[in-house]
Structure 1
Amino acid sequence: MTNAAPILILLLLAITFLYSSFEKLTDWNGTMTWLQSHFANTFVVKYLKICLILVLVMEIITGVFCVSGIIELALKPTSKIAWYAAVFSCLTLLALLFGQRIAKDYDGARTLVIYFIPAVVLVYWL
């Protein structure tokens, strides 16, 4: 299968974003509590609920595109949906990275770059 590598990266990203959004939805209060302490000394704390909703929507859209891209790549040699999934993954990761930098969580920001690299590779491949 010529699309094995892109499918594996899409699977990595789908798991990442869909599970993250699942956690946010099933433990909304816990997530909000943690984020309030994480962003306590930043301007973001005032807008935390809207920021969380935005990130949640981005993660769900990205995860759905990733799963749809996997299906399309399994059936066809190319996939526009998979390319959108890769681009949305990059945008979502950049939004999360921006938040980590605002919070001065440099280890968290560095961790996001680990996900960003395969997402950019995927944009290039597709």
Structure 2
Amino acid sequence: MKILSNHPTEVLILFFLIVTFVQSGIDKAIDWKGNVEFIKSHFKNSPLKNSVPLLLAIILVIEICAGILMTVGVYQIYTSGNKEIALLGVVLSAIALIFLLIGQRLAKDYAGAMSLAVYFIITILGVYLLNS
């Protein structure tokens, strides 16, 4: 597999993030009502409680756009070696994670916020590798 021999770390990070964000976006779209209810209960004591559907829609759009950009980016890396589109997708992933972190902190879900750190570290490593 030429793609893995030329850019193995970048492509594996992209695959990881594609699976993460596309699956998350698809889950939100398929079970919109269940996700809104769950997140409303999660944020019931936070300033975000009345904005859950709008904020969830924003996260959904960002996740799907990031997944599409990263998928196109993998193809672009394979065909031309260019990394710009993949980098844009990974940066969008980082922005989504920062938004999620803000939400977890406002909901006082510190364990949930901490679990996002693993994804953020992988994402920032992807930004670094795709930017060099």
TM range (shorter): over 0.9
Pairing 1:1-126 to 2, within 5 Å after superposition: 1-126=5-130
Note the alpha carbon deviations across 1:8-36, whole angstroms, 9 max, x for none.
10111111111001111111111011001
Alpha-carbon distance in structure 1 between the residues aligned to 2:115 and 2:77? 28
TM-score in terms of structure 2 length = 0.91
- Comparing both chains, which one has the higher relative contact order based on Cα–Cα distances under 8 Å and sequence gaps of 6 or more? 1
Partner Cα separation in structure 1 for residue 79 and residue 108 of structure 2: 43
Q: 2: CA distance between counterparts of 1:97 and 1:74?
A: 32
Offset at residue 85 of structure 1 (A): 1.3
User: Partner of 1:69: helix, strand, or coil?
Assistant: helix
Consecutive unaligned residues of structure 2, counting only runs of 5 or more, are: none
Mapped partners of 1:23, 1:112: distance in 2: 18
Query: CA RMSD, aligned part only?
Result: 0.9
TM-score scaled by length of structure 1? 0.96
In 1, Cα distance between the equivalents of 2:52 and 2:105? 15
- CA distance in 2 between partners of 1:57 and 1:77 (Å): 27
Tell me how far apart the structure 1 counterparts of residues 106 and 95 of structure 2 sit (CA, whole Å): 17
Code of the aligned partner of 2:75: I
User: How far apart are residue 76 of structure 1 and its match?
Assistant: 2.2
Note the C-alpha offset of 1:84.
0.6
Structure 1 stretches lacking a partner, 5+ long: none
| Pairwise CA distance, 1:74 | 1.6
Q: Distance in 1 between matches of 2:106 and 2:45?
A: 9
Q: List structure 1 runs of 4+ shifted beyond 2 angstroms.
A: none
